[in-house]
Amino acid sequence: MSKVAFIGGGSFGTALAIQLGKKNNDVRIFDRDKSVCYDINKNHKNDKYLKDIEIPKNVIAFNSAEEALKDAQYVVLAIPSHVIRDVLRNIKDLIDEKAIVISIAKGIEAGSNKRLSEVISEEVKNPVVILSGPSHAEEVAIEIPTTLVSTSTDMRYAETVQELFMTPSLRIYTNDDIIGVEIGGAVKNIIALAAGVADGVGYGDNSKAALMTRGMKEISRVGVALGGKAETFYGLTGMGDLIVTCTSMHSRNRRAGILVGKGLKLDEALNEVGMIVEGVKACKAFNELNKKINVSMPITEGLYEVLFDNKKPDEVVTELMLREKKNEIH
């Protein structure tokens, strides 16, 4: 039995906590929302994020980070990418020095453009593992077969996390390309948001296929430029994650994009979705990063114009279609 503390009681963190609870681990969730803690502890549910899903009784929620983190062997950062640094600064003195810190967020830090593993390693001295892949919380929670990838700069810890999370419905692979895994997970959110915009405008399957395929090229292009391995982007944390987020209504990025495509302003779309849409911040961050690395990212640039410059989606699509002729492979 392992002691695992989740920082954040959102949908995906709760879904993973459910799976670890069913393996008879000592699972604790810290959340600032007292109503979430009450629901988990009294009703064994988290209806704010996962409607009508039963949570094992050995998953206990705390409104105190100190109580949740006491003696934890694993600390899962189940919080949005843009708050990871600030949250860690508040709780790092409560984390056991031997605990493995696991991030399930996808993105890069705005301003610094650092990967999340880099951000975490700057704030704590603990081993850091990234857990990523094509996974909707709603499906993980009810044990629909799902695969994830565990990666770290020290693969001993990635393998330990692999063993921790493996269940009959949750298969964990390892991959030593931490750069590729993190960049794939971050950029695919941009493409999924763009795919949603295309759906909202009313484009069809031809357009979706083109956008996903050229989006995959964009993901691998920027990922390799940043030091990732090309083959990683055609695996679970690249192609796999891209498929699931571009095609499912579970995807917040796709849902937000659909609303923008139908004519809502970005703020209106985000309010209607009601949860963090990582693709918005990723689009801004990678558009800024690309000024330094100068990689061709036409979909990201076009989406940026739609989200932040109020450009009409159909105008952007026309410009993308009429760009200079080129070979598909390059």
> Does the annotation mark 3 as catalytic?
no
Q: Considering the domain boundaries, does residue 327 fall inside one?
A: no
Cα separation, 228 vs 105, in Å, equals 18
Q: Considering the domain boundaries, does residue 328 fall inside one?
A: no
CB 274 within 8 A of CB 295: no
Structural domain of residue 149, as residue ranges?
3-174
3, 34, 188, 325: the active-site residue = 188
If asked whether residues 150 and 233 sit together in one domain, one would say no
Partners of 151 in the β-ladder: 130
CATH number of the structural domain spanning residue 309: 1.10.1040.10
CB 230 within 8 A of CB 221: no
If asked whether residues 33 and 77 sit together in one domain, one would say yes
Cα separation, 176 vs 229, in Å, equals 10
Q: Considering the domain boundaries, does residue 117 fall inside one?
A: yes
pLDDT at 330 over 80: no
- β-pairing verdict for 128-132 and 146-151: antiparallel
Confidence of residue 276 (pLDDT cuts 50, 70, 90): confident
If asked whether residues 259 and 124 sit together in one domain, one would say no
Check residue 63 and report its DSSP letter.
S
C-alpha distances (whole Å) from 248 to each of 53, 110, 193 are 20, 27, 12
If asked whether residues 48 and 88 sit together in one domain, one would say yes
* Predicted pLDDT at 275: 86
Q: Considering the domain boundaries, does residue 326 fall inside one?
A: no
* Predicted pLDDT at 139: 97
| 262 φ/ψ angles, rounded to the nearest 5 degrees | -85, -5
Q: Give the pLDDT confidence of 27-83 residue by residue, as tens digits.
A: 999 999 999 999 999 999 999 999 999 999 999 999 999 999 999 999 999 999 999
Q: Give the pLDDT confidence of 289-318 residue by residue, as tens digits.
A: 998 999 999 999 999 999 999 999 999 999
If asked whether residues 230 and 87 sit together in one domain, one would say no
Looking at 145, 174, 203, which one is the last position of a domain? 174
Looking at 146, 174, 202, which one is the last position of a domain? 174
C-alpha distances (whole Å) from 230 to each of 216, 236, 304 are 11, 13, 25
CATH number of the structural domain spanning residue 92: 3.40.50.720
pLDDT at 133 over 80: yes
If asked whether residues 167 and 64 sit together in one domain, one would say yes
Q: How many domains does the chain have?
A: 2
